[in-house]
Amino acid sequence: MYLQTRRVRPCGSRDGSRISAHGKLYVQAIILWLAFALVARDARAQEPCDLCAQNWLFILGAGGRTGSTTALSMFRLVPHVELTGEHQGVLNGQYEMYKRLAKMRHTSVASAGPRLDMDGFRCVTQELVRVMVFGKRRASEQSQTRIVGFKEIAYTSWHMLSFLKFTFPCSRWIFSVREKLDVPVKSNFNATRLRLEWGKQRLLADCVHKAFPNTIFRLAVEQLSVQVYNDALHHLLGVRNCSFKGILSANLDGKFSREPDTEALREKQTERARREYIDGDCDLSNVSFRLSSEHLEQNRVLWYALNAEYQSRLRNQT
């Protein structure tokens, strides 16, 4: 017994010999829609990332022993804030790479290639910092994190601050500085060099803070108080419904505290310190560091003008 077969008519045809005019229009519409969808997908893939999508916070020490580690310890206690510590200034290398690529002129076959995609490079740099901050915990941590960033003492120079401003245009900064330079220095530090760094980098931090008081905060190690930290928490970061009630002082007075050996121990230590030093249930739901395009352009113009002012103040100081 054989299966009985018959000719299957194409959709929209009556006799199987051709597609109706209405059917042709329908098929053409589907093809056009698919083509448009593919073009739109490719266009989205080529768009640069949103440089202001993340709330970036950088704690920048104006030299070593300025209280930057204490600031890191304090703000890491805030729920949904993920900050990493010093990382040997690796973004200095990223800046050098950017500078070399930006200067390249592809004038011969040997050096053939496109000009540097500036926005693409900034996107890659932001991605690098995310990898540094989250490590292998990114899949579980990033979606819950409202503020992300780092602490570093190797970036308080004009060229590196410019690079950070260029790469993280909506970021907020906390400068830790020393007001007094004639303080005792531990024997394992070069006292003369350290005091010169304190003075020069404080001058730069003050200059930048004066120009951008709403997005940059200044912490002087001699004037640390619970109120100062709460001012940064509420006004710079926009955190609501909680306050600091003490200062983690393990790193003050020239001391160094150790990080727990495992992630589980770190979480336990953080939770214990959070109960001790934070009062209230922190609300970060409305935290947003995003700036309008007009504001970003104003900042760009102001930053270039600021360079001349800083160089003038530096000459007057010396």
User: In this predicted structure, what is the pLDDT of residue 9?
Assistant: 41
SS in 3 state form for 212-254? CCCCEEEEEHHHCCHHHHHHHHHHHCCCEEEEECCCCCCCCCC
Query: Tens digits of per-residue pLDDT, 204-246?
Result: 999 999 999 999 999 999 999 999 999 999 999 999 999 999 9
Please check whether residue 47 lies inside any domain of the structure.
Answer: no
| 174: nearest Cα among 196, 149, 194, 197 | 149
Tell me if residue 287 falls in helix, strand or coil: coil
Domain range for 196 is 56-317
- The predicted model gives 259-277 an average pLDDT of 84
Whether residue 15 has pLDDT greater than 90: no
Confidence of residue 23 (pLDDT cuts 50, 70, 90): low
User: In this predicted structure, what is the pLDDT of residue 32?
Assistant: 43
Whether residue 277 has pLDDT greater than 60: yes
Confirm if 68 and 58 have CB atoms less than 8 A apart. Answer: no
Confidence of residue 12 (pLDDT cuts 50, 70, 90): very low
- Distance (Å) of CA 36 to CA 31, 39, 45, 167, 214: 9, 5, 14, 33, 44
- Distance (Å) of CA 141 to CA 2, 80, 134, 148, 152: 63, 9, 7, 11, 22
Q: Which two tokens stand for residue 295?
A: 């504001």
Please check whether residue 42 lies inside any domain of the structure.
Answer: no
Beta pairing partners, 148:
56, 82
| 206: nearest Cα among 301, 72, 88, 317 | 317
Please check whether residue 186 lies inside any domain of the structure.
Answer: yes
Please check whether residue 284 lies inside any domain of the structure.
Answer: yes
Tell me if residue 78 falls in helix, strand or coil: coil
Q: How many residues are given for the chain?
A: 318
User: In this predicted structure, what is the pLDDT of residue 189?
Assistant: 74
Please check whether residue 26 lies inside any domain of the structure.
Answer: no
Total of domains in the chain: 1
Please check whether residue 46 lies inside any domain of the structure.
Answer: no
- Give 261 or 124, the one with higher predicted confidence: 124
Please check whether residue 169 lies inside any domain of the structure.
Answer: yes
- Distance (Å) of CA 157 to CA 95, 162, 222, 296: 12, 8, 22, 21
**Average pLDDT of the chain?**
85
- Burial of residue 234 (CB within 10 Å: 0-12, 13-18, 19+) is middle
- Distance (Å) of CA 173 to CA 54, 169, 205: 14, 11, 10
Confidence of residue 287 (pLDDT cuts 50, 70, 90): very high
Please check whether residue 258 lies inside any domain of the structure.
Answer: yes
Lowest mean pLDDT among 11-15, 63-67, 140-144, 175-179: 11-15
